[in-house]
Structures are given as structure tokens and as C-alpha cells.
């Protein structure tokens, strides 16, 4: 479920075989947590002469003669490009292409599917509640079907990482797979039941976590629940859709090339979600673009473009 985004009855066998190897590879912790990956990538881009623009949300991909020639941000900046690599779900990309939506994106269903959202509980916890030798990752499987609080993942920040929590405290994230539609329906039409459902889910998650940390509730100094609405707000991913497409069929996987000069990377393409998988997918796309030979051509002239192009990545 966590690697393939589907259970063994539906996962394609080849993918399932690779996923079964993951626990043997072990779990890696980075000082500072997942943000350290973003920082490492940003540093590498800059070291190689690229530029990283923060707080610049791309609002439009501009086309001329059937291919992208620039991207425009909400702040009205324009950056010329002969190749646009969108690190986004297909629904987000379709919105950016306007009247030029490539054929591959024209038949998307209205709502993202198949796939999942995540319900999260972020907890700040007094470390005295955590036994010293306790492993940092746990899966609590209460019952089937998995997801919706029946299966819960716990990750504790390592005691040695002072960047994740104040001294004497630890960060705990608890997550479960959840369907998107009910959260959005309640968010839009029934705020009272939305709040109630959020608190029921948080309660269910904390109860599951107590199987690992029996004193959790007394030790929790901060408890912040998050729904797919939260994910959408902070990541801009359509409806808070996470994890990409469930890996059920190799032949249904999305290809990265969406049209002339437009590529998709990230968890929507093979081999799907996880830091390792999106990195693999990105390597494959980088090779394909370099083989295409246009990467070193002069940029198209766009008089309105900002002068500090090329844009490498916006976040
Ligand atoms: C609860 C949870 C736990 C997870 N745990 C793990 C784990 O332990 N290990 C692991 O390997 N993987 C884990 N994953 C999976 C991992 O987080 C994803 O596979 C990975 O983040 C996907 O990377 P991505 O680049 O495809 O998308 P994202 O990480 O979503 O990156 C897309 C970026 O684009 C930005 N963006 C969106 N719209 C625009 C726009 N218009 N203009 C500019 N920028 C934009 C977003 O802000 C975001 O920074 C977890 C996922 C979830 C939901």
C-alpha cells in the first residue's frame, strides 16, 4: 500500500516485487528532515549555474506555434523556455496550459482519480514518553480495508536531530490513506460535520498510535490534524491528491512526454511516489530531454520575459 498505493490483490506483480525489497533497503533519516532534500537539490541547481525562485507560483505556460515558449508566474514574471518540465500532477498541468492543453491531458476525469489523499496528525511530544530503544517507524494495522485510519504509519524524529524539535521533545507524524471526495464535500457544504469528521479521524489515529506509545496523549503538547484540504493549501496539488497513480498496470502508467517541449515529472509518472521513485523518474526524463538535443539551443525570444532566466525550478 505505501509503495504501490494499492494492496497486493491489485498491484502489478513486477512493481510489487520491487516494493517488497524496500524494507530490506532500510529507512534513511536526514538531519533536518525532508526539507533537507529540497535544500540539497536547490544547492545542487545553484552550484550548476541554475537559479531557484522561491514564492513564485507558475500560473500559465505560454505557447507559440504549438509548443511552450515561456512560463508566467502569479507575480507577473515571465521566464522563456524551449522545454518546460512540470513537476506536478496532470490536473495541475492541464490548468496551466489553457487553450493549448495537450491531447494526453484532455481526457482527464474532473476529479483526480484513481488514488489517494492523506489524513495526518502532527504531534509535538515530550520525549520522556518514548522508550530510548524504540524504533522510529511503525505501521499499525488495525483492520482491513487498509486506509481511513485502519492502517496508520508513525514516524518519530530521531533523538539526535535537534533541527526537528526543541530539546526534550520529539516530532511525531501519524498518517493514513484517505479518499479525497468526502473531505471536499464536507469542506464545501457542511463545515460542522467536516470539523466532527476531522476530530473523529484524529482520535482514531491517536488511538492507533497508543498501541506503540501508550503514554502519547499525556505527553502530547501539540496536536495538529491535516486533511487533503490542508495538503491542497500547502502544496497546491489538485485536491490534495498524493502518491500518484496506484501501480496496478504497467501499460496504464503515464508517459512523461505530454507534447512538444512539455514534460511531466514527479509521482504521476512511472515508477510513482516516494523520494527514490520520483528521483528515478526524473533521471529518466532528464536523459530523454538531453537525447532530444534541444536543451542547449538558444532560448526563444520573449520581449516580456524577465532578464534573469533560465528558470530552473519554482517552489
Ligand atoms: C503523508 C505522506 C508521507 C510520505 N512519506 C514518505 C517517506 O517516508 N519516504 C518517501 O520516500 N516518500 C514519502 N512520501 C511520498 C513523497 O512525499 C512523494 O512521493 C514526493 O513528495 C512526490 O514528489 P513530487 O516532486 O512528485 O511532488 P511534490 O513533492 O508535491 O512537489 C511538487 C512541488 O511543486 C510545487 N508547486 C505546485 N504547484 C506549483 C506551481 N503552480 N508553481 C510552482 N510550484 C508549484 C509544490 O509546492 C511542491 O513543492 C510521503 C507522502 C505523504 C503524502
- pLDDT tens digits, 127-155: 999 998 999 999 999 999 999 999 999 99
Ligand 1 midpoint to CA 173 (Å): 16
The CA distances from residue 219 to 117, 168, 175, 276, in Å, are 28, 11, 19, 33
The answer to whether residue 273 sits within a structural domain is: no
pLDDT at 315 over 60: no
Question: What mean pLDDT comes out for the span 286-297?
Answer: 81
Pocket lining: 118 vs ligand 1, CB cutoff 6 Å:
yes
Q: Which of 87, 135, 239, 285 to mutate to test the pocket of ligand 1 (most atoms within 8 A of CB)?
A: 87
pLDDT at residue 305 tops 60:
no
**Is 186 part of a structural domain of the chain?**
yes
Q: Is 12 in the pocket of ligand 1 (CB under 6 A)?
A: no
Taking the CA of residue 267 as reference, the ligand 1 atom at the shortest distance is 26
> Is the C-beta atom of 173 inside 6 A of ligand 1?
no
Give domain status of residue 264, yes or no: no
The residues, any chain, with a CB within 8 Å of residue 178's CB and separated by 6 or more, are: 116, 117, 118, 119, 147, 148, 149, 201, 227, 228
- At how many degrees (to 10) do helices 191-209 and 180-189 cross? 140
Query: What pLDDT does residue 250 have?
Result: 87
Closest atom, ligand 1, to C-alpha of 57: 42
Shortest-distance Cα residue to atom 39 of ligand 1 = 57
Q: Which residues contact 300 (CB under 8 A, 6 or more apart)?
A: 64, 69, 70, 80, 81, 82
Instruction: Note whether residue 192 is domain-resident.
Output: yes
Residue at 167 is within a domain: yes
pLDDT at 304: 55
Least confident of 68-72, 135-139, 279-283, 309-313: 309-313
The residues, any chain, with a CB within 8 Å of residue 49's CB and separated by 6 or more, are none
How high is the pLDDT of residue 298? 64
Residue 312 is predicted with a pLDDT of 42
For residue 253, what pLDDT is reported?
Answer: 87
Q: How far is the CA of 116 from the centre of ligand 1 (A)?
A: 13
pTM of the prediction?
A: 0.92
Structural domain harbouring 178: 114-240
Residue nearest (by alpha carbon) to ligand 1 atom 16: 274
Task: Judge whether 149 lies within some domain.
Answer: yes
Evaluate: CB of 196 within 6 angstroms of ligand 1.
no
Residue 196 covered by a domain:
yes
Give the pLDDT band (50/70/90) at residue 23: confident
Asked whether 77 and 59 are in contact (CB, 8 A), the reply is no
Ligand 1 pocket member 258 (CB < 6 A): no
What value, to the nearest 5°, has the Cα angle with vertex 233 and ends 246 and 1? 20
CATH code of the domain containing 173: 3.90.660
**Atom 25 of ligand 1, nearest CA residue:** 266
Cα of 196 from ligand 1 centre, angstroms? 28
Quick check: is 127 in a domain? yes
- Among 122, 235, 268, the mutation site with the greatest number of ligand 1 atoms within 8 A of its Cβ is 235
Q: Rg of the chain's alpha carbons, rounded to an integer?
A: 21
pLDDT, one tens digit per residue, over 95-104 is 999 999 999 9
Closest CA to 97 of 294, 260, 281: 260
Number of domains in the chain: 1
| Residue 273 near ligand 1, beta carbon < 6 Å | yes
pLDDT for 44 equals: 97
Amino acid at each position: 500500500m505505501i509503495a504501490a498505493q494499492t494492496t497486493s490483490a491489485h498491484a502489478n506483480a513486477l512493481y510489487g516485487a520491487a516494493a517488497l525489497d524496500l524494507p530490506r533497503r532500510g529507512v534513511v533519516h536526514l538531519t533536518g528532515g525532508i526539507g533537507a532534500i529540497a535544500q540539497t537539490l536547490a544547492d545542487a541547481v545553484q552550484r550548476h549555474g541554475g537559479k531557484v525562485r522561491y514564492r513564485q507560483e507558475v500560473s500559465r505556460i505560454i505557447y507559440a506555434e504549438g509548443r511552450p515558449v515561456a512560463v508566467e508566474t502569479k507575480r507577473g514574471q515571465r521566464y522563456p523556455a524551449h522545454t518546460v518540465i512540470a513537476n506536478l500532477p496532470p490536473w495541475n498541468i492541464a490548468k496551466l496550459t489553457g487553450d493549448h492543453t495537450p491531447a494526453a491531458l484532455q481526457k482527464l476525469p474532473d476529479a483526480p482519480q484513481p488514488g489517494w489523499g492523506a489524513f495526518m496528525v502532527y504531534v509535538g511530544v515530550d520525549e520522556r514518553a518514548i522508550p530510548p530503544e524504540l524504533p522510529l517507524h511503525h505501521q499499525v494495522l488495525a483492520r482491513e480495508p487498509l486506509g481511513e485510519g485502519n492502517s496508520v504509519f508513525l514516524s518519530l524524529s530521531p533523538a539526535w536531530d535537534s533541527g526537528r524539535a526543541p530539546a526534550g521533545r520529539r516530532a511525531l507524524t501519524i498518517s493514513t490513506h484517505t479518499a479525497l471526495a468526502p473531505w471536499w464535500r464536507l469542506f464545501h457544504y457542511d463545515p460542522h460535520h467536516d470539523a466532527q469528521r476531522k476530530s473523529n479521524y484524529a482520535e482514531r489515529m491517536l488511538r492507533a498510535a497508543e498501541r506503540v506509545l501508550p503514554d502519547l496523549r499525556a505527553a502530547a503538547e501539540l496536536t495538529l490534524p491535516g486533511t487533503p484540504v490542508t495538503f491542497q493549501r500547502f502544496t497546491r496539488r489538485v485536491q490534495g491528491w498524493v502518491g500518484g497513480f496506484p501501480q496496478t498496470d504497467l501499460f496504464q502508467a503515464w508517459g512523461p512526454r505530454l507534447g512538444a517541449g512539455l514534460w511531466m515529472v514527479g509521482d504521476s509518472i512511472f515508477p510513482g511516489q516516494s523520494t527514490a521513485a520520483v528521483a528515478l523518474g526524473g533521471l529518466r526524463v532528464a536523459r530523454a530531454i538531453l537525447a532530444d538535443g534541444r536543451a542547449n539551443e538558444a532560448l526563444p525570444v520573449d520581449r516580456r520575459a524577465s532578464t534573469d532566466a533560465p528558470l530552473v525550478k519554482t517552489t
